[in-house]
Amino acid sequence: MNHSGAESNQRAAVEVTKDKNGIEQVILQNTRGASVRVSLHGGQILSWRTDRDEELLFTSSKAIFKPPQAVRGGIATCFPQYGSRGLLEQHGFARIKIWVFDENPPPLHPNDSNGKAYTDLLLKPSEEDLKAWPHSFEFRLRVSLAEDGYLTMISRIRNINCKPFSFSFAYRTYLSISDISEVRIEGLETLDYLDNLCEKQRFTEQGDALTFESEVDRVYLSSSDVIAVFDHEKKRTFTIQKQGLPDVGVWNPWEKKSKSIVDFGDEEYKKMLCIDGAAVEKPITLKPGEEWTGRLELTTVPST
């Protein structure tokens, strides 16, 4: 299954392996040796490494890789619910289901295929899902790794029901950082946010950048399409570009909460930051036959 796009350039590769529980994973590798690992368990991205073999995503040392547990870390897809805003389990069911490969994915746009490795995963509702959330949908997730190491996720969700449905959505992204107290986020200043630590009350961000000195669990509303996370110690900046995802979830459990999370190390909050491209405040409604697209692109650049 090598749909690397650039056939003339065999070094952009797509390889399928299995984890120790027998669940298939796809490894995408670009021409420079950067890689992305995606699991069919939850359609989850478990690893994104630079061409110098540096891991850019955080996964807890206590993460559980056995369905129906969600994996603590990487990039998870929250659908059809984000957080506890709804009747389903936390963050919806997509992140705990076993997805399938599309063996013949539609090709990338010709201008887009240069040296790019990609894979398409599909989620279709089971009988059980339809009992919990009675809406028929097709969900296609395309994960691609470009020549320059950019990681892109494109979700396409189609309503194949005879009636409309609504959902919320997020890419829950655990970034690996040097130290949470050395990190700042730009692109959220002046925005309103819902604070999950204050019963989802609405506040306005006053700071000119977001820094961390205690637990944070917020959803920033109607942000611009580009957010930057500066890691001073690693001299690295993550850029998060998004389309169809107006909101941004920001989470760090800090010390006390970390100790209460079973699949999370007591001190691991120092090395991670969750920043989620999301559509939460105004759920997305699809009429029969309609399709929604949500796109997230992550890049990293050295910074001073």
Q: What is the CATH number of the domain that holds 276?
A: 2.70.98.10
Task: Return the structure tokens found at 248.
Answer: 């941004």
Any domain includes 201: yes
User: Quick check: helix, strand or coil at residue 89?
Assistant: coil
Annotated binding site: 72, 90, 95
Burial of 200 (0-12, 13-18, 19+ CB in 10 A): middle
Distances in Å between the Cα of 287 and the Cα atoms of 27, 44, 99, 125, 160 are 35, 27, 24, 18, 9
Phi first, then psi, for residue 257 (nearest 5°) are -65, -40
Cβ atoms of residues 76 and 42 within 8 Å: yes
Any domain includes 8: no
Provide the domain limits for residue 278. Answer: 13-302
Q: β-strands 272-286, 201-204: how paired?
A: unpaired
Any domain includes 6: no
User: Rounded to an integer, what distance in angstroms lies between the CA atom of residue 55 and that of residue 35?
Assistant: 9
Under-50 pLDDT residues of the chain? 4-10
Cα angle vertex 166, ends 160, 168, to 5°? 115
Cβ atoms of residues 268 and 60 within 8 Å: yes
Annotated binding site for substrate: 72, 90, 95
Any domain includes 1: no
For residue 302, give the nearest of 210, 212, 227, 231 by alpha carbon. Answer: 231
Cβ atoms of residues 251 and 216 within 8 Å: yes
Residue matched to tokens 């490894």: 27
Instruction: Say what the pLDDT of residue 164 is.
Output: 97
Chain centroid offset of residue 213 CA? 24
For the chain, the domain total comes to: 1
Residues 6+ apart with CB under 8 A from 89: 81, 96
> Per 3-state DSSP, what percentage of the chain is helix, strand, and coil (rounded to 5)?
10, 45, 45
Instruction: Say what the pLDDT of residue 11 is.
Output: 66
Any domain includes 2: no
Any domain includes 7: no
Phi first, then psi, for residue 269 (nearest 5°) are -60, -25
Any domain includes 5: no
Instruction: Say what the pLDDT of residue 256 is.
Output: 92
Any domain includes 102: yes
Q: What's the whole-model pTM score?
A: 0.93
Ordered alpha helix ranges (H), the chain? 127-132, 254-260
